[in-house]
A = this chain, B = another copy of it.
């Protein structure tokens, strides 16, 4: 059964146009999906993986757990994102992926991915591109955690997320669903839950954003981008898919 809209195709179309044949293949890839409840792990650290997960619906996160219970989230996954391609390299997953909301996931066997990339250069290249985009986001994440204050860091995370959600058409009236607890947010920003709470309060008090019920509303986009110290060069990355400079 074909998806009305194929988030994977939508995402990859950012990079290039596809033929009908290629779109058909992408459709077939996500035809069969599996549901994961909020809070459930899609993959757990240490497990062996022989397939690629594609997010069809929902939101998930990649997280690493250290010995003493410390946790670090290293990515949020939204519809269209492929994950665990790298599992072909590692014998075992070095981190877990958990569902933040009830999510629909398509599982593509390793063999299928290999065959497709062998026969369809353009798709192979698109997959590669998607990996490189992830890389760019990861680098910004490091900069964020390494060199920004809690306040800037939180703003940057929100702004980046806002842009990403806009790209895939998941924002309306400057607001979008971001169903994370403050603990989750603390674990993505590399700070304590208490300080996360206080930082959120400040952002709210200053009328920059409002956060409620897992929905974030950007009240003052210009201000938010400014606080975030958002790299205008990095923004190009979003410009060519429709997001404009403030």
Contact = CB atoms under 8 A, between A and B. Distances in A.
Contacts of A229: 66-67
Contacts of A34: none
A89 B142 contact: no
A131 B40 CA distance: 28
A222 interface: no
Contact of A139 (B74, B89, B146, B148): B74
Interface in A24-70: 45-46, 62, 64, 66-67, 70
A62 B139 contact: yes
A184 to B, nearest CB: 13
A89 B135 CA distance: 12
> Size range of the interface on A?
35 or more
Contacts of A236: 90-92, 94
Contacts of A141: 142
A90 B14 CA distance: 12
A98 to B, nearest CB: 15
Interface of A: 15, 45-46, 62, 64, 66-67, 70-72, 74-75, 85-86, 88-95, 114, 117-118, 121, 124-125, 127-129, 131-136, 138-143, 145-148, 187, 189-190, 229, 231, 233-234, 236-237, 239-240
Top 10 nearest A-B pairs (CB, nearest first) are A146-B190, A86-B132, A138-B138, A94-B234, A91-B236, A72-B143, A72-B147, A94-B233, A145-B146, A74-B139
